[in-house]
Amino acid sequence: MSYTLGQLAAKVQGTVKGDAGLVIDKLGTLEKATQSELSFLANPKYQSQLSSTSAGAVLVKTEELADLLENAIVVANPYLAFAQLSHLFAPKTQCWSGVHPSAVISSKSKIANNVVICPNVVIDDDVIIEPDCIIGAGCVIGRGVKIGQGSRLYPNVTLYHDVEIGSKCILHSAAVIGADGFGFAPKEGGWEKIDQLGAVVIGSNVEIGASTTVDRGAIENTQIGNGVKIDNQVQIAHNVVIGDNTAIAASTAIAGSTKIGSYCTISGGVCIAGHLVITDRVHITGMSMISNSITEEGSYSSGMGMEPTSKWRRTVARVRRIDEMAKQFLQLKQQIKKLSDKVDV
């Protein structure tokens, strides 16, 4: 699909600088885009690439930046505009319609007429799937599941019993929603399994990445709010509650019964302990270990950043001596006080 620069500008409420009739058939990076591609500048550190880019046009924030280019679209938020225009160029990935004959569907389920069900899907009793959904090949949908209008499951998603998915959600391949939480009571000689009696309730406009797992609640439900975005290979334990429009990057692990507020951003590899409360609008930087509740919005970090190995080893050696150094400091402080007292006398 191709569009003129003027057509693209109209879709993002931008202003064309240059040839509004320039035909764009693809999006690209500043470094590798060609004359028929549109790129964007969102991060100032890439501004130097404007002078060398071969992109036919670039989404920029100011007229001053547009003056450095032959063709540009000036828009308030270039990154958001790029995201909006990406929908126009996304390839179609669904090549059939209706219900594939290899699907196994319970007669007790309720499937809207215009739902696409791909090969080898299994749908259990009392499932409700609303219009405009796409269920990818090999998905397994357990008893009593509800899927809202316009949602899409990519191949091999598994929804355990009684899971609820809102409208316009996207679940990527191998996501598992509603598996048992990690609940065991110790007993003599081993462990007694605690049956997980809750479910998982997911709001609308939620996206969940590949191989991410969301465990069902032990008694109450695990809850994912509207507009939440969860990356690949994230673990969300039983009875976690995540507020609206929070975004969680890959390899994060959230332990049971923790409540995370709205509009939070959690970077990759973060570990969050259980039974904590994190307020709204908190940003947690990558690889942080969160062991206490966070009651004030803002940015939080833990751990040490990268440095050359030789320097890191010296730093670790000093950290291990902190207790000893603190005792030495206290002794010196006491000695100085005694000397000071003698001088005053």
Q: Which residues are catalytically annotated?
A: 238
For residues 299 and 316, is the Cβ–Cβ distance under 8 A?
no
Q: Report the distance separating Cα 236 and Cα 220, nearest Å.
A: 15
Sign for the pseudo-dihedral over CA of 306, 311, 317, 320: negative
Helix (H) or strand (E) holding 254: strand 253-254
Residue 271 tokens read as 């570990």
Q: Report the distance separating Cα 72 and Cα 156, nearest Å.
A: 42
Q: Which residue has the tokens 């060398």?
A: 52
Sign for the pseudo-dihedral over CA of 109, 199, 282, 284: negative
For residues 232 and 210, is the Cβ–Cβ distance under 8 A?
yes
Q: Report the distance separating Cα 198 and Cα 295, nearest Å.
A: 27
Q: Which residue type sits at 30?
A: L
